[in-house]
Amino acid sequence: MTFYLLRRVAILLATLLAASIVVFVVLQVLPGDPAALILGTGAREDTLAALRHQLGLDAPMWLRYARWLGGLLSGDFGTSFTYHVPVAELVRQRVLVSLPLALFAILLSTAIAIPVGVAAAARRGGAADAGLMGVAQIGVALPNFWLGLLLILLFAVRLPWLPASGFPGWDAGLWAGFRALILPALALALPQAAILARVTRAAVIDTLGEDFVRTARAKGLSRPAALWRHAVPNALIPVVTLIGLQFSFLLAGTVIIENVFTLPGLGRLVFQAIAQRDLIVVQDLVVLLAGSVIVVNFLVDLAAAWIDPRLRRAGA
């Protein structure tokens, strides 16, 4: 297990490094001169050259990469030229919205989907299965922004229970911040729960047909005990993998929901930075998001190995 962990960590670091190189090279190759963008089209060539020198843009590519990577590792992400603040501070504020929102949504989605999927699998072919999967089918088809609007109409306009939009910041209190995230988390979680419930159902139906479930029943386990102790744990690997994918998406792919609820999250920051050609912000964010996807995948692999002893072999 120790060797397995060391191996996985080494792979993790190598992947992160590779991702940073790809991000850097791609953004260097793309057209667009930050100096020209900052100074405007009317700038004189010698002014541009002076600014490029000041920004370090005239250094060779490998040196610029090394400076950027060194900065990332020491927490200096550079300075946004549209916001005129350090990117690190910008990211910190946005992560404090996006990360709790993603965690909240994934917890909701998992808490709904696993019981629903297992219940449907245990009653496959029956009325309860058909009903639950019918609702899930609708959930899959619903766009989350539309669901978000419905939730606002119901819980913020018709019933004045929750704020319709905006984020007061965690300084306004834990509860005030949490309240602002309830509706967006629901809007994100329900369609994902629908997909996760269907995957859970299919995986549990597969394992319910396995011989070891029959062995468990022959040992005297009741149907629910055989289901929860033997069939469900064996169905978890595809479920955990999907949860990991969904969580990665939730970290940055929520720009539409952030717009519906006017939340200052990472998705909107990426969107705005791209629109304004704020290259250093784009570059930092893309590598951070790529890094978070890689780290989430790493955690999914660890969870899978924790669940299934067959995956703990060092070669796996």
Partner 1 sequence: MMLRVEDLTVALPMRGQLVPVLAGVSFTLDRRDSVGLVGESGSGKSMTALAIMGLLPPGARVAGRVMLDGRDLLALPEPDLCGVRGRRIGMVFQEPMTALNPLMSIGAQVAEPLRLHLRLSRAEADARAARMLDRVGLDPARISPHRYPHQLSGGQRQRVVIAAALACGPDLLVADEPTTALDVTVQAQVLALLADLAAETGMGLLLITHDLGVVSQTVANVLVMYAGRVVEQGPTDSVFGGMAHPYTRALFAARPAESGARPVQIPGQVPDPLHRPPGCAFAPRCSRAEPDCGQQAPTLAGGGPHRAACLHPHAAS
Instruction: Count CA within 13 A, CB hemisphere, residue 61.
Output: 8
Q: How far is the CB of 218 from partner 1 (least distance, A)?
A: 4
Q: Which amino acid is at 223?
A: R
DSSP assignment of 105-163 equals HHHHHHHHHHHHHHHHHHTTTSHHHHHHHHHHHHHHHS-HHHHHHHHHIIIIIISTTS-
Binding site for partner 1 (CB under 8 A): 210-212, 214-223, 230, 233-234, 307-310
Cα(280)–Cα(90) distance, integer angstroms: 12
Q: How far is the CB of 214 from partner 1 (least distance, A)?
A: 7
User: Judged by CB, which is closer to partner 1: 183, or 235?
Assistant: 235
End-to-end CA, the chain:
11
User: Judged by CB, which is closer to partner 1: 168, or 233?
Assistant: 233
Residues 79/87, Cβ–Cβ less than 8 Å: yes
User: Judged by CB, which is closer to partner 1: 236, or 243?
Assistant: 236
Q: How far is the CB of 245 from partner 1 (least distance, A)?
A: 22
Residues 139/194, Cβ–Cβ less than 8 Å: yes
- In whole angstroms, what separates CA 313 from the centre of its chain? 28
Q: Which amino acid is at 80?
A: S
Q: How far is the CB of 219 from partner 1 (least distance, A)?
A: 4
User: Judged by CB, which is closer to partner 1: 208, or 286?
Assistant: 208
Q: How far is the CB of 215 from partner 1 (least distance, A)?
A: 5
User: Judged by CB, which is closer to partner 1: 84, or 310?
Assistant: 310
Residues facing 86 on adjacent strands:
79
